[in-house]
Amino acid sequence: MKKFAIGIIACSFLVFQSCQNDDIGSSDVDSNGNQDSKVVLNTNSQSLSNRVSYDNSGVFGLSTGITSKSEASNSSDFPMALLAEIEPPVYNGITLRATHVDVKDNYVYVSYNTQGDVYLGAIDVIDVSQPNNPRVVIQALLPNTDISTVLYDNGKLYLAGATDVDKNNLLTTPAFVGVMPLQSGLPTNNFTSASLVSNVAVGLAVTDSKYYGVSGNSGVVAKIDKATNTVETTIAVADLRAMGRIDNKIVVLSGTDGVKVFNADNLSLQSSFSTSKDVADAKRTIDFQGNNLLVSEGYQGLKVYNLNSGSLLQTLAAPKDVVNVDAGDVVTNAVSVNGDFVYVANGAAGVSVYKNTNNNLNLLGSIQLGGSSNYVKSVGDYIYVATGSGLKVIKKLSTLPQSLACESFTPYPGYGELNVNSGDVFNYKGNQLIHNIHVNQNLNFCGNLAVDQGVTVNSGGVFSVKGSLFAGTTKKGTDLVVNGTLVIEGDFMLYGNLILNSGAKLKFLGAGGHMIITGTVTKGNNVTITGNYIDDRNQGKLK
């Protein structure tokens, strides 16, 4: 049977490229040794860790000029770090592509499907309990099933996607929704499913006793009983793309019929309003910010509607005239709301970041990581971006340290180079990206400090950080050079080389923060390293 799936539009969800092969091995069988089971689990730490790349890890800021009419620059008050890139699974020579992300506590659930006629999906679980060191802890491969959406609720994963009915005689149509029980938050080797009209299910929502799904072209909005996994009610809606839940409302997006709002109890239609007509079969997402509905509308950009009245409040066009990018590859694929901040995946134009001020979204800049940004999800301090080269795990350096005596400190007023000359004593605080730092006397920083190039602490200089210090990029091989004293109370992430010249002092204060050094550590004579730290990758480089 030929597969049809919600899919590809102007770089939307391009197939990821990878040289890593995760073909079934001795650990890739179910508990009965059956390689033809519905779910094949891989917990082999070596093969999973091979899919995690740190080659491009490091500090960066928002780009505030990506068009041909202005040169690119970086925003200094929105520091971020690319922690890792997760390459997609490869099975029997087929590279899967990421479709969706959900987050529960320290686990990130990533779903995958396959482009073309082959049905092949997967679910990765990424452990972020070590906040600066994400790890893939399990891969659940679904040999005959694509997964479009994954949603966590109360110890279970709810799935939407498409299955090969020629190999699954329990389902009558390719489109399905289902539920997978978890064990300690991790996938198990089976799931139960229910058929929906159409070729692929593309969205999910949950309430206490029910869950809901939408299927694509000529599809339905469906209500399913959690206890029995039986479909109770279906409503036919053309060209369905996305689904969300707010309060007791189920909200769906159609590429032709716009937005429809249903009562969650009985799926009675409460209201509807038009959106722009979208290209057929393209994957889109919606999200909520207060009473507003945010809709990714492809080439029309992001639009904001009042959910109650349906009135259009704001249109945020996809970026224009992006340097070295074909206009046809700039398309708004997805939107994610995280408090006052809104993240919008705009294909080859990256991820635009907006902040809600007085109920109006204002552009702060964009995240530029290369390739096409096809999906975005932000939870807590993390931003997850599916691009043409894999899933990017980004940390926004925004959580200020607690109970540190920094009230009298002031924000640093600049971005470029921070020079502390002999006789100077500077005290700064906040979340800050700085280009270079040279310390010849005393510099105290309280908060999250990101330095995207180099740090030098000269003889007689004392550089103290309370909060976190993120410095450098792995690709550039950045150096942090200490001739004087570097004091860290909190996390220390160095994406580069640490050079401790003769007489240098490195002090860790407090119970010990997390530490990663991606490059080498060079020690001169009479170097002293004191205090406690958590070596996230067991590198042992400071011993």
User: Does residue 389 surpass a pLDDT of 80?
Assistant: no
pLDDT, position 477: 86
pLDDT at 68 over 80: no
Mean pLDDT of 16-45: 51
Per-residue pLDDT tens over the stretch 111-169: 999 988 899 999 999 999 998 999 999 999 999 999 999 999 999 999 999 999 998 87
DSSP state of 381: T
User: What was the pLDDT predicted at 132?
Assistant: 93
Query: Residue 7: pLDDT above 90?
Result: no
**Once rounded to an integer, what is the mean pLDDT over residues 363-385?**
93
pLDDT value of residue 406: 83
Q: Percentage of the chain with pLDDT > 90? A: 77
- Three-class secondary structure of residue 65 per DSSP: coil
Residue 75: its pLDDT value, please? 57
pLDDT band at 72, cuts 50/70/90? very low
**Between vectors from CA 242 to CA 368 and to CA 304, what angle results, nearest 5°?**
65
**pLDDT beyond 80 at 488:** yes
CB 511 within 8 A of CB 528: no
Q: 233-247, 314-328, 444-458, 513-527 — which is least confidently predicted?
A: 314-328
**Model confidence at 50: pLDDT above 60:** yes
- Residue 320: per-residue pLDDT: 85
Kind and range of the H or E element at 47? helix 45-49
Q: Say whether pLDDT at 16 is over 90.
A: no
Q: What is the pLDDT of residue 32?
A: 34
Q: Which residue has the higher pLDDT, 258 or 7?
A: 258
Residue 127 burial (C-beta neighbours within 10 Å; 0-12, 13-18, 19+): middle
Q: Given a cut of 80, is residue 447 above it in pLDDT?
A: yes
CB environment 145-169: b (16+ within 10 A), e (fewer): bbbbbbbbbeebbbbbbbbbbeebe
The CA–CA distances, whole Å, from 373 to 80, 110, 147, 335, 449 equal 17, 15, 19, 11, 26
Which pLDDT belongs to residue 69? 39
- Give yes or no for residue 11 having a pLDDT over 70: no
Residue 46 confidence (pLDDT) above 60: yes
Contacts of 538 (CB under 8 A, 6+ apart): none
pLDDT score at 444:
96
Q: How far apart are CA 500 and CA 486, in angstroms?
A: 10
For residues 484 and 528, is the Cβ–Cβ distance under 8 A?
A: no
Name which residue leads in pLDDT, 24 or 202: 202
Q: Tens digits of per-residue pLDDT, 167-185?
A: 887 889 999 999 999 999 9
pLDDT at residue 476 in the model: 87
pLDDT tens-place string over residues 471-486 = 999 988 899 999 999 9
Question: In this model, does residue 2 exceed pLDDT 60?
Answer: no
More confident: 501 or 25: 501
- According to the model, what pLDDT value does residue 343 have? 98
In angstroms, rounded to a whole number, what is the distance separating the alpha carbons of residues 43 and 39? 13
Mean pLDDT of 391-406: 81
How far out from the chain centre does Cα 92 lie? Answer: 27
The pLDDT value recorded for residue 19 is: 29
DSSP string, 216-272: STTEEEEEEETTT--EEEEEEESSEEEEEEETTEEEEEETTTEEEEEETTT--EEEE
Give the pLDDT score at 27.
37
Burial bucket for residue 201 (CB in 10 Å: 0-12, 13-18, 19+): buried
Question: Cβ–Cβ contacts within 10 Å for residue 9, how many?
Answer: 21
Number of C-beta neighbours around residue 194 at 10 A: 21
- How many separate helices (H) and strands (E) can be counted in the chain? 1, 49
Residue-level pLDDT at 295: 98
Residue 528 to residue 542: CA distance in whole angstroms: 10
- Assess whether pLDDT exceeds 70 at residue 29: no
Q: Tokens for 57?
A: 């890890």
The predicted pLDDT at position 425 comes to 96
Average pLDDT over residues 428-436: 93
pLDDT at position 51: 96
Asked if the model's pLDDT at residue 6 lies above 70, the reply is no
| pLDDT above 60 for 245 | yes
The pLDDT mean for the chain works out to: 89
